[in-house]
């Protein structure tokens, strides 16, 4: 990995981009480094990567040294099947429960805390754990928060006796807004010194997504032997996601930042600064 590597989320939610980079020619001239959102977050913050998708809250926590690539995100209008709270009890009974949070992301932590506080007037005890889907709900927790492929597997293979809550749907019920889970960011200094390279990456990321979405059925077939999901289930899941970053998404993300700030989870960000690229 060098400082010009492009970070890449190794979850199914980035399948369209994966496919565009690997099968559509958009990965040419790029060095790709794939990892979980939490790992990419750390690499961006420590400047070991200069361009990468990150959990959306990471921008708010580091806005002084990052800018956001326009027109690209991982968002959803409502329930999305890949941020799932699995509980031993109905969510209304978790007011002071112990809840384990996946160590693979950051935005989802804030999202759950916002939902529990505002929708359920709850103040659970949260702790971060390297959760495994094989372990299920931990013995010392009343509920666990899964994201990404783990959450998707949990959603499609639900066990009797547990309660399943989709945080995308919970957020929609609470605010009426879409939710932006990840954005592509660039180190501010790197962007200033490497404008042509940033422009190229922007074009390859947006073009790669477009190619992958156009060929999503073919892309899904490349994964169906890897996960306990059918190609049709993968295509359905991708259809729940939105990869644009419209003004409506921007305002929804600023709402999330404001609510996260109110709970002491994030600085008070009132605007998002975008990288200067030709769209």
pLDDT at residue 49, as a whole number: 96
Q: Cβ(75)–Cβ(242) under 8 Å? A: yes
Residue 144: pLDDT above 80?
A: yes
Q: 210-244: per-residue pLDDT in tens?
A: 999 999 999 999 998 888 899 999 999 999 999 99
Percent above pLDDT 70 for the chain: 98
% of the chain exceeding 90 in pLDDT: 91
What are the angstrom distances between the C-alpha of 267 and each of 122, 217, 245, 271?
22, 41, 21, 12
Q: What is the pLDDT of residue 136?
A: 65
Give the model confidence (pLDDT) of 64-114 as tens digits.
999 999 999 999 999 999 999 999 999 999 999 999 999 998 999 999 999
Per domain, the residue ranges of the chain are 6-76+179-262, 83-175
Measured at the alpha carbon of residue 67, what is the angle toward residues 266 and 55, in degrees to the nearest 5?
A: 50
CA–CA separation, 262 and 233 (whole Å):
37
Ranking 1-15, 24-38, 51-65, 79-93 by mean pLDDT, the lowest is 1-15
> How far lies 236's CA from each of 109, 183, 239, in Å?
25, 22, 5
End-to-end CA distance of the chain: 28
Q: Is the pLDDT of residue 132 over 90?
A: no
Residue with tokens 């799932």: 84
Q: pLDDT-based confidence at 3, cuts 50/70/90?
A: low
pLDDT-derived band at 1, boundaries 50, 70, 90: low
Q: Which CATH class is domain 83-175?
A: alpha beta
Q: Give the tokens for residue 41.
A: 């977050």
pLDDT for residue 27 is more than 80: yes
If pLDDT is split at 50, 70 and 90, which confidence band does 138 have? confident
Domains 6-76+179-262 and 83-175 share a fold: yes
* Topology (CATH) of 6-76+179-262: D-Maltodextrin-Binding Protein; domain 2 (3.40.190)
Residue pair 183/53 in contact by the 8 Å Cβ criterion: yes
For position 105, what pLDDT does the model report?
87
**Residue-averaged pLDDT of the chain:** 95
Residues β-bridged to residue 1: none
Band the pLDDT of 131: cuts 50, 70, 90. confident
Contacts of 248-251 with C-beta under 8 Å, sequence gap 24+, read 248/178, 249/73, 249/75, 249/178, 249/180, 251/177
């Amino acid at each position: 990995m060098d400082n010009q590597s492009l970070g890449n989320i190794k979850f199914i939610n980035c399948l369209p981009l994966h496919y565009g980079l690997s099968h559509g020619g958009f990965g040419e001239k790029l060095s790709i480094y794939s990892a979980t959102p939490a790992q990419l977050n750390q690499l961006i913050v420590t400047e070991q990567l200069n361009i990468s998708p990150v959990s959306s809250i990471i921008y708010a926590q580091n806005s002084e040294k990052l800018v956001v690539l326009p027109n690209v995100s991982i968002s959803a209008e409502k329930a999305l099947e890949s941020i799932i709270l699995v509980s031993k009890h109905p969510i209304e009974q978790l007011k002071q429960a112990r809840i384990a949070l996946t160590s693979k992301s950051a935005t989802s932590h804030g999202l759950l805390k916002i939902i529990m506080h505002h929708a359920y007037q709850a103040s659970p005890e949260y702790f971060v754990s390297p959760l495994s889907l094989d372990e299920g709900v931990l013995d010392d927790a009343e509920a666990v928060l899964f994201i990404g492929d783990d959450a998707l597997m949990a959603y499609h293979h639900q066990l009797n006796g547990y309660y399943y809550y989709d945080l995308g749907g919970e957020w929609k019920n609470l605010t009426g807004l879409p939710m932006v889970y990840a954005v592509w960011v660039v180190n501010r200094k790197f962007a200033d010194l490497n404008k042509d390279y940033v422009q190229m990456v922007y074009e390859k990321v947006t073009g790669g997504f477009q190619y992958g979405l156009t060929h999503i059925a073919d892309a899904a077939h490349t994964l169906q032997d890897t996960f306990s999901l059918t190609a049709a289930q993968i295509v359905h899941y991708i259809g729940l996601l939105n990869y644009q970053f419209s003004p409506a998404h921007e305002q929804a993300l600023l709402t999330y930042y404001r609510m996260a700030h109110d709970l002491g989870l994030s600085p008070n960000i009132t605007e998002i600064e975008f990288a200067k690229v030709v769209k």
